[in-house]
């Protein structure tokens, strides 16, 4: 290869922020928090949940991203929560108005839902032009997927996929059920389980990224604005930091250009790294067995 062409190629990769470099590997992530369903308050008030989550980010100096479903925050309290995130330098972006499954929704209806939420967010100064598909569902087939990506692009929004999932939605559903049955439930075991799972899964997916040739990938970690994180997000973030993880601002992770193009096939609930492995036909390490099925068997065995 001509040396000038080789050097020009390296410069282009650097310019677009490609993470496939020869620099020493770093474990980097941004927390991206979806939904903002604020209703559940057994054992922890809505105010305490909101304040605890923001304090957790402050504890590690992190600026996160919130993907907001408009119908969940269409109230004075919801507006207060969103504005507080913006005031503290966090990203707020689009997660549809009703949190619909694309797979079950007419394309025109779905894009109208995205548009309604974008109009809502446009009325709040400081929001960002990113979009995340609820349930990581971007269409039932390639035809719908292409139509949805085209519609999202028309709105000036860029795709915000996920590289690692905390599975917090399932863990919190179990803890919430226990709290509804008995508000005095000891929730410390849920903390221990959740912290360990987040560290284990983060390292698993970073290993996948490295196997695919990505070094120091700015991971996007999926969490949700729920009572589990209201209680334990700080514990999780401090444990990740102690494990060698660096928190990069969500604005930096979201801007990584490889994340924005349409995937080669419908996402169907899978993360970006899984799709990359399928696209490149690179074999990756198996998912940790103890967390298969969202960790149901492990939680059953622990009595959670």
Interval 171-201: pLDDT, tens: 999 999 999 999 999 999 999 999 999 999 9
Asked whether the predicted pLDDT for residue 150 surpasses 90, the reply is yes
The predicted pLDDT at position 6 comes to 34
Asked whether the predicted pLDDT for residue 2 surpasses 80, the reply is no
Closest CA to 264 of 281, 279, 277, 274: 279
In this prediction the pTM is 0.91
The string of pLDDT tens digits covering residues 55-87 is 999 999 999 999 999 999 999 999 999 999 999
The β-bridge partners of 91 are: 65
**Region 24-302: CATH code:** 3.20.20.370
Closest CA to 158 of 250, 17, 260, 256: 260
The string of pLDDT tens digits covering residues 230-245 is 999 999 999 999 999 9
Mean pLDDT of 247-270: 97
Asked whether the predicted pLDDT for residue 24 surpasses 90, the reply is no
Alpha-carbon distances, residue 281 vs 261, 265, 266 (angstroms): 19, 14, 16
* Structural domain boundaries in the chain: 24-302
């Amino acid at each position: 290869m001509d040396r000038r062409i080789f050097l020009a190629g390296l410069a282009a990769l650097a310019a677009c922020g490609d993470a496939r470099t020869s620099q020493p590997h770093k474990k980097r992530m941004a927390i991206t928090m979806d939904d903002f369903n604020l209703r559940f308050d057994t054992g922890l008030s809505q105010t305490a949940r909101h304040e605890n989550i923001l304090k957790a980010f402050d504890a590690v100096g992190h600026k996160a991203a919130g993907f907001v479903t408009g119908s969940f925050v269409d109230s004075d309290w919801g507006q207060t929560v969103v504005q507080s995130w913006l005031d503290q330098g966090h990203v707020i972006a689009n997660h549809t108005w009703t949190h619909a499954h694309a797979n079950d929704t007419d394309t025109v209806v779905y894009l109208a839902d995205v548009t309604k939420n974008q109009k809502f967010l446009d009325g709040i100064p400081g929001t960002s032009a990113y979009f995340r598909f609820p349930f990581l569902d971007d269409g039932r087939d390639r035809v719908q997927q292409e139509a949805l990506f085209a519609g999202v692009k028309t709105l000036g929004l860029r795709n915000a996929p996920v590289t690692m999932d905390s599975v917090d939605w399932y863990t919190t559903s179990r803890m919430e059920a226990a709290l509804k049955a008995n508000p005095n439930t000891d929730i410390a075991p849920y903390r221990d389980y959740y912290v360990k799972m987040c560290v284990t899964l983060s390292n698993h997916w970073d290993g996948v990224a490295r196997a695919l040739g990505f070094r120091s990938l700015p991971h996007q970690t999926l969490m949700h604005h729920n009572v589990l994180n209201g209680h334990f997000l700080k514990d999780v973030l401090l444990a990740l930091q102690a494990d060698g993880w660096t928190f990069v601002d969500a604005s930096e992770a979201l801007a990584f250009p490889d994340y924005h193009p349409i995937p080669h096939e419908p996402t169907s609930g899978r993360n970006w790294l899984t799709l990359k492995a399928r696209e490149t036909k690179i074999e990756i390490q198996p998912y940790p067995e103890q967390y298969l099925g969202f960790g149901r068997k492990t939680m059953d065995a622990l009595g959670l």
